[in-house]
Amino acid sequence: MIKLVITDLDGTLLNDEKQVPHDFWDIRKTLHEKGITWVMASGRQYFTIADQFSGILDDVYVLAENGALVMKGNQQVHIDPLDKSFTNQLIERGRKVKDAWPILCCRNSAYVEDEYQPLLDEARKYYKKLQIVDDLTKVDDTVLKFTLCDFISSEDNSYHHFKELQKECRVAVAGKIWLDMTSLTASKGTALKRIMSHCNVKPEEVMAFGDYLNDREMIEVAYHSYAMKNSHPDLIESARNVTTHDNNNNGVIRELTEFFKLG
């Protein structure tokens, strides 16, 4: 019996316009009535997710910043911050990457130190609370994640500047232009395990949907794992199943409708 459904947002539940499928709300309510809890999992900031799903926050878990923070309603279920001194090293290194801009993702806000408009336009899609500061190393806030917005390619450009640090932090290609760094123990998979423990759920009672490499640990934890049709090829190799439809054609909702015979 399924007890948890966990979905990534961008490229998975949401279409490319960042829109929630219109029938999500009814499906989510139906599953809730069956005793199934939904988990919103994303590299996004908590406040952005909470704003988009404000009407159901008491009934769902929000897994934000690639698993560095988990909330259920007003309750903080899990937090796994980055060490501040190590974060400053990441900032210094990130400043040197061509055509990539550092973003410091913290408990109370996200921060950038550049007013470059394309950066701000992209960052504001994912960070409802965003501040421009003179120096990221001087920010006084709990750091959940360090991110680079890489307009060349996170996988082909900025990743190569940080891959040697993988024994000191978790480095994840989170999208075509996003490279995310969290603590070694922070991931969507680790956070999912914390949620499973919180509600006494086994892997075979979990359905998971994702599309990119930062979803791999989450996909590997859940027994009923689905890579989106539009997924990164490496994620498809990690999943037990592939959705019939992509994120722009209601892929998650269609799979749930068929699996639970809701149609």
Report CA-CA distances (Å) from 102 to 85, 96, 107, 116, 128: 16, 10, 17, 12, 17
User: Could you give the domains of the chain?
Assistant: 4-79+186-259 (3.40.50.1000), 84-182 (3.30.1240.10)
Q: What is the pLDDT of residue 198?
A: 94
Is residue 170 scored above 90 in pLDDT?
yes
The span from the CA of 195 to the CA of 72, in Å, is 10
Each residue of 200-233: pLDDT tens digit?
Answer: 999 999 999 999 999 999 999 999 999 999 999 9
Q: What is the pLDDT of residue 141?
A: 98
Each residue of 1-37: pLDDT tens digit?
Answer: 999 999 999 999 999 999 999 999 999 999 999 999 9
Each residue of 88-109: pLDDT tens digit?
Answer: 999 999 999 999 999 999 999 9
- Please report which residue ranges of the chain form alpha helices under DSSP H: 24-33, 46-52, 84-94, 117-126, 159-162, 188-198, 216-221, 233-238, 251-259
Q: Is the pTM of this model over 0.85?
A: yes
Q: Could you tell me if 5 and 39 are in contact, meaning their C-beta atoms sit under 8 angstroms apart? A: yes
Is residue 250 scored above 90 in pLDDT?
yes
Each residue of 41-62: pLDDT tens digit?
Answer: 999 999 999 999 999 999 999 9
The span from the CA of 260 to the CA of 263, in Å, is 9
Report CA-CA distances (Å) from 215 to 34, 88, 132, 231: 26, 26, 29, 10
Q: What are the strands, taking DSSP E only, across the chain?
A: 4-8, 37-41, 61-64, 69-72, 75-79, 100-106, 110-112, 130-132, 143-150, 170-175, 178-182, 206-210, 224-227, 241-242
* Secondary structure class of 182 (helix, strand, coil): strand
One-letter identity of residue 188: K
User: Cα 82 to chain center, whole Å?
Assistant: 16
Residue written as tokens 């689905």? 226
Q: Please give the share of the chain, as a percent, with pLDDT higher than 90.
A: 98
Is residue 263 scored above 80 in pLDDT?
no
Q: Could you tell me if 221 and 193 are in contact, meaning their C-beta atoms sit under 8 angstroms apart? A: yes
Mean pLDDT of the chain, nearest integer: 97
Q: What is the pLDDT of residue 121?
A: 96
